[in-house]
Amino acid sequence: MSTEYLSSAAVTNGLTTNFIGRNILYFPSVTSTNDIARQQAMQKAPEGTAVIADQQTTGRGRLKRAWVSPQGNVAVTIVLYPARKNLQFLTMLSSLAVQRSIEKTTGLKCELKWPNDVLIKGKKVCGILLESQASADRVNYAVVGIGINVNMKLQDFPEIAAIATSLANELGREISRPVLLRNLFVEMERLYVNLGDGRSILSEWRDNLITLGKKVHVRYGEDIFEGTAETVADDGSLMLRCYDGRLMKFMAGDVTLK
């Protein structure tokens, strides 16, 4: 567990963004930062509002899975009101922002794994969960939940030690969470305001995916498909070239590199 004190003031002190992270709600412990952020979004909180917690008691990832979120890590959810056409790019944008902010803060090289994982040396260091309320022509809100393993000690969590890592585990020292969060907010805002038609985000995200060109298993529901991860479509879907020659498109699923 980190001995560093985390607070709204600790994060905003020296923050150079215009709106992301300018309004921070900090909690020592919550069930889920996404739940709090969604309530804030429904009440029309300012765009860029960030909900930060020292600990989540029922943090969750994709497919309703539990996300281990002890004290010492970063659990943050950001409220956004994107244009409908840009909703599909938020997970890509967030992955890139996490990658950039970790590398800027620690010097550690990160890799991206489809659809929303950030890895260091093949082990998961961050997960992203996007939840939104949208209709055909507009987005009422989007909340981007980001969980980064910062100062957790992997020996305390043997159940995930084989597949996960933390920044402190990689560097052998504690990392400043306020500094990491400030860098994250700066990178998020820079990418978000320059999103345009999303092509540059898609291109950079695609170039950083370690999944592409690899032989993979894709689990979708109860079914498993095998083949080569050929590319990603414009909407971020994975295009799998099956061994029988079929080209299949996956909007979601679990990918394992063979």
**Residue 178, preceding bond cis, omega within 30 degrees?**
no
pLDDT in tens, 214-231: 999 999 888 999 999 999
Q: Are residues 177 and 228 in the same domain?
A: no
How many domains does the chain fold into? 2
Residues 99 and 171 both lie in one domain: yes
CATH of the domain at 119: 3.30.930.10
The span from the CA of 231 to the CA of 249, in Å, is 10
Give per-10-residue mean pLDDT for the chain (258 aa): 77 97 95 94 98 80 55 93 95 97 98 95 94 92 96 87 94 96 98 94 96 94 93 95 96 87
Residue 1 lies in a domain: no
Please report whether residue 234 resides in a domain: yes
3 is a domain residue:
no
Predicted TM-score (pTM) of this structure: 0.92
Give yes or no: residues 217 and 151 share one domain.
Answer: no
Q: Let me know if residue 55 belongs to a domain.
A: yes
Distance CA 145, CA 58 (A): 13
The string of pLDDT tens digits covering residues 59-88 is 554 445 555 567 789 999 999 999 999 999
Q: What's the domain range around 109?
A: 8-207
Query: How many Å apart are CA 90 and CA 103, to the nearest integer?
Result: 20
Residue 228 lies in a domain: yes
Residues 225 and 162 in one domain: no
